[in-house]
Amino acid sequence: MRPMIDGHLDLAMNLVYYDRDITLPLAEMNRQESGLTDQKFRGRGTVSLPEMRRGGVGVCLATLLARSGPRHQRSAEYRRADLDFASPEGAYACARAQLGFYDLMEERGELLRLRTSDDLRDHWRRWSQDDNHDSTPIGIILSVEGADPIPSPESLEQWVRWGVRAIGLSHYGPGRYAAGTGTEGGLTDLGKEMLAAMRALGVALDVTHLADEAMEQAFELYEGPIWASHHNCRSLVDWDRQLSDEQIKNLIARDGVIGLAFDAIMLLPGWRRGISSCEELSIERAADHVDHIAQLAGTTRHCAIGTDLDGGYGWEQTPRELKSIVDVHRLEATFERRGYSAADIDGIFWGNWLRKLSETLP
């Protein structure tokens, strides 16, 4: 089993929104939720810190997520009582609560915040050489998924001091900084100012969730490091949450990395939350998206993993073979059967993220 770098996990959201204890072994975490019915994913979680260690996930981009865009413009499909706040102050407070979770986990030795390229290389070296990860902290690089919690571009420097190294300007619906998934529009004036502040401070841009117009503007305006942490291909599953071929080519031209996500709605055309089953969804579908990006690029250099496996759903919304983040490793055999070299597979599972993050971090 190869080591793995995951480009997108919502670790802190699990505690702050769902009172979920991800320090438990996965089976125990799910057992404790077995009687809860407030969310469809109760008792079906696929990610906990011990499970990440078992799966060799030594580093991940870990998020801070809350929204405060204009709620009256948000479609009912994308309205979330747990994520949406009436004011930027509410989103700020929620994101600070998530930051507090990471602080506590770091104090307890569960997590290790990676702020510099030296931090990353040193941690990855130790992780790769250690055969037993039971007591090894998991390295995290903080990423803000939807910039709404950041009060202003002028305040970004404080977030960088807290360890934030990447930002996606929007999430679902309209945001303070940009239009996101499920809506139309571009960057706001505040969003354009934020891009300038990010460039000055060396913060990477995650284009995930940007509406098409906003993404096009971001490619034009932002000259710093860029990636798509958890994004699949629109040509295979046609909706605006996915990357078009043109957007993929823009990322390739900027030496970006695209993290493969495992949400069923991003893998199977016509799949609907709460209605569709995953019985007909194989993990082979996930490999198809990597194939497509590799064909467009002529290389696997831009292909990586960004599971999003704890993003408000469980194995009721993943390929049928995937009941744990460990099961992502089933793709290794799939890629081998499809003729990928060992170096290609290493790159997809960890090498491409390691290269891009090492180049990006100060």
pLDDT tens readout for residues 207-264: 999 999 999 999 999 999 999 999 999 999 999 999 999 999 999 999 999 999 999 9
Note the pLDDT tens digit of each residue in 321-341.
999 999 999 999 999 999 999
Confidence class for position 78, pLDDT limits 50, 70, 90: low
The percentage of residues in the chain with a pLDDT greater than 70, rounded to a whole number, is 96
Q: What is the DSSP string of 310-360?
A: TSS--GGGS-TT-SSGGGGGHHHHHHHHTT--HHHHHIIIIIHHHHHHHHH
Q: Residue 1, Cβ neighbours under 10 Å: how many? A: 10
Q: Which residues pair with 178 in a beta bridge?
A: 187
Instruction: State how far the Cα of 2 lies from the Cα of 56, in Å rounded to an integer.
Output: 7
Query: What DSSP character marks residue 105?
Result: H
Note the pLDDT tens digit of each residue in 15-48.
999 999 999 999 999 999 988 999 999 999 999 9
pTM, entire model: 0.95
Residue 202 tokens, joined: 């060396």
Residue listed under structure tokens 């309205």: 79
The CATH number for 171's domain is 3.20.20.140
Instruction: State how far the Cα of 284 lies from the Cα of 273, in Å rounded to an integer.
Output: 20
Give yes or no for a contact between 143 and 99, defined as CB atoms under 8 angstroms apart.
no
Indicate the burial class of 240 (C-beta count within 10 angstroms; 0-12, 13-18, 19 or more): middle
Confidence class for position 284, pLDDT limits 50, 70, 90: very high
Number of structural domains, the chain? 1
For residues 1-28, give the mean pLDDT: 96
Q: Which residues pair with 164 in a beta bridge?
A: 142
pLDDT computed for residue 73 by the predictor? 59
Domain that holds residue 69: 4-360
pLDDT at 80 over 70: no
The pairing of strands 204-206 and 226-227 is parallel
